Amino acid sequence: MKGRRVLVTGAGGFIGSHLIERLVRTGATVRAFVRYNSRQDRGSLRYVDPQVLSAVEVVAGDLRDGQAVEKAMDGVAFAFHLGAIISIPYSYTNPDEVVGVNVMGTLNVLNAARRHEVECLVHTSTSEVYGTARYVPIDEAHPLQGQSPYSASKIGADKLVESFWCAYGLPVVTIRPFNTYGPRQSTRAVIPTIITQALKADRIDLGNLEATRDFTFVSDTVEAFVKAVERPEARGQTVNLGTGREISIAQLCQMICRIVGGEIPVVVDKQRLRPAGSEVGRLLARNDLSAEVLGWTPVVSLEEGMARTVDWIRAHLADYPEADHYVI
């Protein structure tokens, strides 16, 4: 990608900001698409090394605005589509907005990529599209289950991407990360929620403690995005990203408390529980296809990644909300 123009939507997000750094360091000419706000808040891009960020063209807009997306796609060789509303609790209360951004926004990205004849579009899916595992490990053939408006919107977006590959031959790759974590992630996600409470409070409030997840460190996830563009054989494929290791939320709490250095009581907070039919009880990835098609395997262990994440959040604790504030 050296010297090629690359677009990243959702560039102000957690994964997007790390991908921006990785792309700049490959020598790509990077355009970052962020959601407009009058404060000129660029989200997690504020944590990017200023020298790196100075090489990035930041453009603001809304994925639902087809003209804004069209303009951002102009002259682009490769596009990484990470822009989405990703909060599951938020999708319960605002499903129209979530569907508008995640489905119609993705359609705008696809139309623009097709018109500008991009060489590859990498689309970001989520393991939430699988719902509660019917079998484990979960491979890419597992049924899709829309157990929340968010997961349903991502299923819709994934199928649109598939249709543009089948109908128009648009060169696409769908990356389906299981739970990514690491520095810069907000307390919308469970790991920063646990860490900030462990550092700031005398107890940890959570929802379902028995649910299990497969966590991947952000640098590993970003590496897979880069490989998706580099591998022509990945075109038209949907590929899981996961470690093949699951851990319950209760066990995760114990690990984080050991790293932080204390025993902190954990309390089930009813407002943090999903509706019964929407709860995803188990997610565990089968990652054979990512190894075969992308040449990708995760290299950062959960223990190492968690220690790095705790260190980063500890150093930026003032940027996080108070422990008793439930972020949706």
* Residues designated as active site: 150
Calculate the CA 286 to chain-centre distance: 18
CA 154, 155, 160, 162 torsion: positive or negative? Answer: positive
Q: At what angle do helices 14-26 and 218-230 cross, to 10 degrees?
A: 50
Cα separation, 196 vs 178, in Å, equals: 22
- Give alpha helix (H) positions in the chain: 14-26, 50-53, 66-73, 88-93, 95-99, 105-115, 149-168, 190-200, 218-230, 249-260, 288-289, 302-315
Identity at 190, one-letter amino acid code:
V
Cα separation, 273 vs 219, in Å, equals: 29
Calculate the CA 158 to chain-centre distance: 14
